């Protein structure tokens, strides 16, 4: 079988896929959750709305989105320079 | 213009026609989920995808990959073989488009070339082991990998944003979905336009129009980029509908998880040199996103019957395109010369015209692509008014 399947490549693709495709996706979701957590919404019991919480939420969100952006750019780069 | 140059011209036109169907067949891969969730209006989505495909075609830093060379003996490749292979791929793309089945354009092309070689030279010229390792095994792995990653992604996304207000969630994931879908479009332009560039370059080399070690001429790159972008803009609405509405109901969180998974796997596979089909990856991702949502405890239905039909079509792609490729070679060879190729090309145009007219009787367009899925591709007509 191994003459047909390059296992060394397979697990790399799967690992990179999981890191980028599920990991970064989850980080983006974390960013959204953080962004929302610090803000006041019409719904009761959601978001305390204190300015400290807001700032903290925004910082976490920016960090998350930055990480996702960096990951996407890295992915694009490694694909093009294959 | 001598006979050989005329034949070369027919081959180039056929290759560009294939490139066009490659574009409209695969619009769905990048944009079906964004259209289904309303992240972008349908026509804006296909326009964005077209622009990114165009840009992607210019992006690659590597010489155009010659798709067929590893699959068949390079000595077996004549202009007629390349032509017949293209016809095989083209025919399969058109038929699957009519039935709204997402199927791999690269597999169709490989099947066509393999079939034409088989009948032109014989079984010895087709590299069976290469077909197994470069085509069949990746075809099984791609949807499985994609489904795994998308299931994990959709599960995490639903869990993490469970308490997030609906408005932020919807909007945030739509933006994310747009970005990830754009990456898939760009990757598609890079990988798929290159296949046609490779085929045209191959034909030019076979005809001694350029030296074997010469790079792809600029006009080839430009023509392929323009054609794949035009094809993408035409929007294969029938395929988009199957992928976006048929397989499972897609909301922004799953749409984002699906496109994120597709983009990551396509990038990784391209980087590590594993030839995965974008179509197989996207199909797996969409199913996986549906599964992940259910895993996270929300209602979600995957229509396994439709997914099964898609998998059957993927299995049939190679032999079916090979059959057409073989028939096209036989036909062109029996009539002979440029005239033979021209006749086969005319038959191809008749098939395309017939399918186009048949599709117009029950059209799927940007206007009804998102209609409720009622178990069939073409939406039930709503009363006007």
pLDDT for the residue numbered B123: 86
The DSSP H or E segment spanning B113 is: helix B105-120
Contact A32 B168 (CB under 8 A): yes
Contact A79 B267 (CB under 8 A): yes
pLDDT for the residue numbered B60: 67
Of A34-48, B33-47, B246-260, B288-302, minimum mean pLDDT range: A34-48
CA pair distance B179, B160, nearest whole angstrom? 20
B214, pLDDT greater than 80:
no
pLDDT for the residue numbered B208: 78
Residues 6+ apart with CB under 8 A from B326: B84, B88, B115, B116, B118, B119
Domain, as residue range, for B262? 3-361
CA pair distance B323, B137, nearest whole angstrom? 21
Q: Does any domain span residue B24? A: yes
CA pair distance B61, B52, nearest whole angstrom? 16
By the CB < 8 Å criterion, does A58 face chain B? no
DSSP state of B381: P
Q: Does any domain span residue A2? A: no
Contact A4 B60 (CB under 8 A): no
Q: Does any domain span residue B370? A: no
Residues of B whose CB is below 8 A from A8: none
Domain, as residue range, for A42? 7-80
**CB distance B281 to B149 below 8 Å:** no
B184, pLDDT greater than 70:
yes
Contact A26 B163 (CB under 8 A): no
Mean pLDDT along residues B33-40: 90
Residues 6+ apart with CB under 8 A from B367: none
A65, pLDDT greater than 70:
yes
Residue with the larger pLDDT of the pair B353 and B202: B353
Q: Does any domain span residue B277? A: yes
Give the number of domains in chain A: 1
Q: How does the average pLDDT of chain B come out, rounded?
A: 88
Contact B149 A22 (CB under 8 A): yes
pLDDT tens digits, residue range B299-334? 888 899 999 999 999 999 999 999 999 999 999 988
Query: What band does B385 get if pLDDT is binned at 50, 70 and 90?
Result: very low
Query: What band does B4 get if pLDDT is binned at 50, 70 and 90?
Result: confident
Beta bridge partners of B248: B302
Q: Does any domain span residue A53? A: yes
For the question of an ipTM over 0.95, the answer is no
pLDDT above 70 coverage of chain B, percent? 95
DSSP state of B75: G
pLDDT for the residue numbered B209: 79
A37-43 own/partner pairs: CB under 8 Å, 24+ apart: A37/B164, A41/B165, A41/B167, A43/B165
Mean pLDDT along residues B350-362: 89
Q: Does any domain span residue A31? A: yes
pLDDT tens digits, residue range B275-297? 888 999 999 999 999 999 988 88
Residues of B whose CB is below 8 A from A5: 133, 137
Give the number of domains in chain B: 1
Q: Which two tokens stand for residue B221?
A: 């790159």
Mean pLDDT along residues B225-237: 92
Mean pLDDT along residues B368-383: 76
Mean pLDDT along residues B148-155: 96
pLDDT for the residue numbered B128: 84
Q: Report the residue of A1, A6, A16, A17 to disrupt the B interface, i.e. the one with the largest count of B CBs within 10 Å.
A: A17
Q: Does any domain span residue B170? A: yes
Q: Does any domain span residue B380? A: no
Q: Does any domain span residue B381? A: no
């Amino acid at each position: 079988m191994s003459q047909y399947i390059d296992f060394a490549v397979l697990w790399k693709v799967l690992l990179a896929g999981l890191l980028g495709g599920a990991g970064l996706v989850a980080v983006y979701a974390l960013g959204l959750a953080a962004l929302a957590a610090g803000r006041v919404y019409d719904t009761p019991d959601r978001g305390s709305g204190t300015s400290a919480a807001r700032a903290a939420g925004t910082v976490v969100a920016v960090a998350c989105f930055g990480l996702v952006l960096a990951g996407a750019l890295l992915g694009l780069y490694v694909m093009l320079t294959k | 213009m001598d006979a050989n140059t005329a034949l070369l011209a027919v081959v180039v036109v056929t290759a560009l026609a294939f490139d066009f169907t490659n574009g409209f067949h695969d619009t769905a891969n990048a944009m079906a989920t964004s259209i289904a969730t309303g992240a972008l209006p349908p026509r804006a989505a296909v326009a964005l995808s077209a622009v990114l495909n165009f840009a992607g075609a210019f992006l690659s830093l590597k010489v155009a990959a010659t798709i067929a060379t590893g699959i068949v003996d390079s000595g077996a490749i004549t202009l007629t073989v390349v032509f017949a292979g293209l016809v095989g791929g083209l025919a399969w793309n058109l038929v699957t488009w009519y039935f709204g089945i997402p199927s791999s354009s690269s597999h169709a092309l490989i099947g066509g070339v393999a079939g034409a070689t088989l009948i032109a030279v014989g079984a010895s010229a087709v590299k069976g082991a290469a077909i197994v390792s470069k085509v069949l095994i990746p075809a099984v792995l791609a949807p499985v990998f994609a489904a795994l990653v998308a299931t994990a992604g959709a599960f995490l996304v639903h869990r993490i944003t469970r308490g997030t207000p609906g408005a932020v969630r919807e909007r945030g994931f739509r933006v994310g979905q747009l970005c990830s879908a754009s990456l898939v479009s760009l990757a598609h332009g890079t990988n798929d336009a290159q296949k046609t560039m490779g085929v045209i370059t191959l034909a030019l080399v076979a005809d001694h129009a350029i030296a074997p070690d010469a790079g792809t001429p600029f006009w080839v790159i430009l023509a392929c980029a323009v054609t794949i972008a035009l094809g993408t803009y035409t929007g294969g609405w029938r395929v988009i509908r199957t992928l976006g509405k048929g397989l499972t109901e897609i909301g922004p969180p799953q749409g984002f998880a699906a496109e994120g998974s597709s983009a990551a796997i396509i990038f990784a596979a391209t980087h590590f040199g594993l030839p995965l089909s974008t179509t197989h990856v996207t199909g797996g991702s969409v199913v996986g996103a549906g599964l992940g949502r259910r895993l996270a405890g929300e209602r979600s239905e995957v229509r396994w019957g439709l997914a099964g039909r898609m998998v059957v079509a993927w299995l049939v792609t190679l032999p079916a395109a090979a059959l057409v490729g073989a028939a096209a070679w036989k036909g062109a060879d029996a009539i002979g010369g440029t005239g033979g190729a021209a006749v086969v090309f005319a038959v191809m145009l008749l098939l395309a015209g017939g399918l186009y007219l048949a599709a117009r009787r029950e059209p799927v367009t940007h206007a009804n692509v998102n209609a409720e899925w009622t178990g069939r591709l073409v939406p039930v007509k709503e009363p006007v008014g």
